[in-house]
Structure formats: structure tokens, C-alpha cells
């Protein structure tokens, strides 16, 4: 029987709670302590926006729990990938993830910088024949990070909705690690893609685990332009399907109505039927229906256009261009809308209530607080302030535009170490 641990938590007990959470979910039985463990950080926006990205206390809590249980610090590293529209270096600073990594003296791996990538056929062999869609999307195959083969991986998603997949969590977090900058090619078949990626993970990793933070969560056209909420739950499981199902239930959705959960469940890649999932810790927390409306009722202009391009009337005339040298038009459009318009104009007001919460105050004062072994007895009185909003965010977005163009995969070859052919 699949098991998902869920706990209610507060800043003053957050480290104790993460340690208890991981052990309730039997993480030590899933993760071989003799091999490297990648902590796959989630950066859904390089700007700070509550609910979008891995929280610093989520990352810190997992690291502290592993060290307390005897995992070798030298065999733990943070792990990041880039996208064509997200700057991971900026994101790890703005979301204070880098602070945690440096405080613990961990390696900080950016997969697109000097790491070897290996052709999928060389990595998983005949498993490719079972893919639902990736063989069609990538006719010549694709590459995955060499270092992932034989490693443990711990995914660090947050509880939030997504405009492509209704909800996003553990399974979607692999999307930002296994595939390179051309992962947007899979958007028309995103649900099937997540199932294929889970099959790959089960093949290549020594152990797969997920720790999901719901202290900051988000509802609406995520993973960026959401309404953020401060909730007080954290989740963990070795079953990527089950933890995504539990998170979906928390938000108010029927898990098996979400296509990627249903497809994975039907292929025995995990359990999406909550009747067959053991909930441990604070199971009554699952009775708290958050009543999220989901990503489709109040879509942004950008999300509406994405749906029209990938699944609607613009697919035939436009979607083909995203697989050609013309594709950077879409990257620029995304940055202009999200970074130059939406964040400067709307983010501050959307975040106001959440930033005043205990979690908002903890984020604001993160670098200056001294925790005890259990957590943070004091988080400060003032809510978080977003200094780089409004006009500051607007002007900063032009630097992101420049980076997006300079690093567009259509304009430059991948940095050294990428394998494009298989043996």
C-alpha cells in the first residue's frame, strides 16, 4: 500500500516537523545513503512569488533531517535546470534557496553548466519502446543528465495549480530536471510526458522521493500568476503519483480526474486512488478542503493564448514555429507579459495578505533569524516586503529579456558535454 505523510506545521516547529515527516514516509528505506542524493529544487519563477517555488525552510528542513539521520553531507547536492524563460541563478537568489545551500556547504549543481547529458537510448535502453509520447515528440531522441543515473532524487515542489495540468507537484517537478530547453515541445502532450518521465526516473534513479511544501500555496493560472495562500501543511512520499493525488485532494480536486495522475495510476507507476493510500501523520488535514477554483476560471491573457496555441485554433498556424529558429518569439512574449507587465503591475497586491503571515515574516527575515533545533521561535513582526516590484521589476525584466535571447537554444549550441547521438 502506498503511503503519504502529511503534517500540520508552524515556523516554531518546522525543522522538527520536516524530520518527523520524512521518517513517517519511510524515506530512509527509499534512499540509499551510499550514493549521491540530488535535491531537485523547484523554481517556477525567478522572481519571488509565494507558492511558485521551493521555500528556503523546505530545502533547509530536508537537509537538516538527512544530516540528523546520518546521511553524508558530501553526498547531498542541490540541483537546478534552466528553461528558456526562467533564470535559475536569479531564482535561487530571489527565493533564498542559495542561502540555504551555502549555509550548509553543499554542492550546487546547475545541470546545463558543464554537466554531461546522455542519449535516452543509452540511458534506459528498451524502456523507450514503452513511452506514450516522447518518441513522437523527439524523433531523434533526446538527452538526459548523465549524473542522474544511479543517484537518489528528492523532488521539492509546492502545492499549487497549473494552467497546463490543473495541478502540479512531484511528477511535474521532473519535467524541470530531465528535459532540456526544448521541453516546451512536449506541452501539447504534457500529461503523457509526465508519465514517460516517471518511467524514466524509476529506471535511472537509485531512489525517488518527494517532499512537498504547502506553507505557501497557489490557486489560479499557475505556476506563476496565482492567488497565493498561507497554509500550514507539508507532505512527503516515495510514491510520486500518490503525493500528487493527496495534494490535488487538499486543493479540492478529484485526483483521478486529472489526466497525468490517472494515466500513471493505470500503468501501476503509483497509486492515484486515495482509497488505497495510507495517510499518516495528521490524516485529518486531508478533510480541510481548500476550495481552490483551479487554473481555468480566471486565466491570464498569456495562459489563454498558450491554450489556443497548444490545443486550440492557433495550433495549426502557430505551434509549428516553436520547433524552429522562430521559437524565441514565444520566449520574448512570455517574458514581456509575466516579467515586464504582470509582476510589476499585479504581484505586490496579490502577495499582500500572504506576506503578512508568519510564513511571510519568516521569508522576509530569513537571513537574520537564529533558529533553534525545532524551528524559528521568533519570525519578526513585519511582513515581507518585495523591494524589487513595480518599476524596479519592470526595468529588471529587460535584463531577463537579454538573457533569454542570448541563451535561446535555437541561437546557440548547448554547452560542452551534451551527447546528441547514441551508441
For 143-153, what is each residue's pLDDT tens digit? Answer: 999 999 999 99
Question: Buried b vs exposed e over 211-246: b needs ≥16 C-beta within 10 Å?
Answer: bbbbbbbbbbbbbbbbbbbbbbbbbbbbbbbbbbbb
Angle subtended by helix axes 259-266 and 240-251, to nearest 10: 150
Q: What is the per-residue pLDDT across 279-314, written as a single tens digit (0 to 9) for each?
A: 999 999 999 889 999 999 999 999 999 999 999 999
Close Cβ partners of 108 (under 8 Å, ≥ 6 residues apart): 77, 78, 80, 92, 98, 101, 102
d(CA 166, CA 162): 5
Cβ–Cβ under 8 Å, residues 200 and 142: no
Nearest to 209 by CA among 241, 238, 188: 238
Contact of 53 with 158, CB cutoff 8 Å:
yes
Helix (H) or strand (E) holding 277: strand 277-281
Q: What letter does residue 410 receive in the DSSP assignment?
A: T
8 A C-beta contact, residue 272 and residue 261: yes
| pLDDT under 70: residue ranges of the chain | 383-389, 413-423
pLDDT at 418: 42
Q: Give the per-residue pLDDT at 40.
A: 98
State the Cα–Cα distance between residues 403 and 389, nearest whole angstrom.
19
268: its cell numbers: 501501476
Give residue 257's pLDDT: 98
Strand, coil or helix: 417: coil
pLDDT at res. 407: 79
Domains of the chain: 2-297 (3.40.50)
From the CB of residue 423, how many other CB atoms can be counted at a distance below 10 Å? 7
Residues 6+ apart with CB under 8 A from 344: 389, 390, 391, 392, 393, 394, 397
pTM: 0.94
pLDDT at residue 416, rounded to an integer: 37
C-alpha cell at 5: 505523510
- Give residue 18's pLDDT: 98
Give the DSSP per-residue string, 90-118. Answer: HHHHHTTHHHHHHHHT-EEEETTSS--EE
Amino acid at each position: 500500500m502506498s503511503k503519504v505523510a502529511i503534517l500540520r506545521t508552524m515556523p516554531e516547529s518546522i525543522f522538527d516537523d520536516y524530520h518527523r515527516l520524512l521518517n513517517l514516509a519511510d524515506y530512509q528505506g527509499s534512499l540509499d545513503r551510499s550514493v549521491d542524493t540530488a535535491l531537485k529544487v523547484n523554481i517556477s519563477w525567478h522572481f519571488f512569488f509565494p507558492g511558485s517555488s521551493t521555500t528556503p525552510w523546505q530545502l533547509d528542513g530536508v537537509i537538516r533531517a538527512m544530516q540528523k539521520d546520518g546521511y553524508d553531507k558530501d553526498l547531498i547536492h542541490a540541483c537546478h535546470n534552466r528553461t528558456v524563460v526562467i533564470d535559475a541563478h536569479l531564482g535561487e537568489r530571489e527565493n533564498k534557496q542559495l542561502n540555504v545551500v551555502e549555509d550548509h556547504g553543499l554542492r550546487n549543481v546547475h545541470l546545463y553548466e558543464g554537466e554531461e547529458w546522455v542519449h535516452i537510448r543509452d540511458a534506459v535502453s528498451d524502456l523507450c519502446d514503452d513511452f506514450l509520447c516522447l518518441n513522437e515528440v523527439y524523433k531523434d531522441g533526446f538527452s538526459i543528465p548523465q549524473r542522474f543515473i544511479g543517484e537518489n532524487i528528492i523532488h521539492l515542489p509546492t502545492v499549487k495549480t497549473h494552467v497546463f495540468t490543473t495541478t502540479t507537484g512531484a511528477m511535474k517537478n521532473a519535467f524541470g530536471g530531465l528535459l532540456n530547453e526544448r521541453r516546451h515541445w512536449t506541452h501539447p502532450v504534457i500529461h503523457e510526458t509526465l508519465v514517460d518521465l516517471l518511467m524514466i526516473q524509476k529506471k535511472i534513479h537509485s531512489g525517488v522521493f518527494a517532499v512537498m511544501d504547502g506553507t505557501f500555496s497557489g490557486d489560479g493560472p499557475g505556476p506563476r500568476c496565482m492567488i497565493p495562500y498561507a497554509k500550514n501543511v507539508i507532505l512527503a512520499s516515495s510514491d510520486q503519483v500518490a503525493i500528487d493525488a493527496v495534494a490535488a485532494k487538499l486543493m479540492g480536486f478529484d485526483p483521478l480526474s486529472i489526466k497525468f495522475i490517472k494515466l500513471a495510476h493505470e500503468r501501476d507507476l503509483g497509486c492515484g486512488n486515495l482509497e488505497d493510500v495510507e495517510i499518516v501523520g495528521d490524516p485529518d488535514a486531508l478533510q480541510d478542503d481548500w476550495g481552490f477554483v483551479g487554473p481555468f476560471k480566471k486565466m491570464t491573457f498569456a495562459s489563454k493564448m498558450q491554450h489556443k496555441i497548444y490545443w486550440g485554433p492557433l495550433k495549426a498556424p502557430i505551434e509549428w514555429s516553436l520547433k524552429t529558429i522562430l521559437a524565441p518569439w514565444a520566449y520574448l512574449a512570455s517574458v514581456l507579459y509575466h516579467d515586464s507587465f504582470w509582476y510589476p503591475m499585479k504581484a505586490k497586491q496579490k502577495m499582500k495578505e500572504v506576506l503578512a503571515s508568519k510564513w511571510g515574516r519568516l521569508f522576509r527575515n530569513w537571513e537574520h533569524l537564529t533558529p533553534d533545533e525545532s524551528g524559528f521561535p521568533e519570525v519578526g513582526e513585519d511582513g515581507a516586503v518585495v523591494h524589487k516590484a513595480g518599476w524596479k521589476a519592470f526595468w529588471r525584466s529587460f535584463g531577463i529579456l537579454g538573457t533569454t535571447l542570448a541563451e535561446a537554444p535555437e541561437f546557440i549550441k548547448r554547452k560542452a558535454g551534451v551527447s546528441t547521438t547514441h551508441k
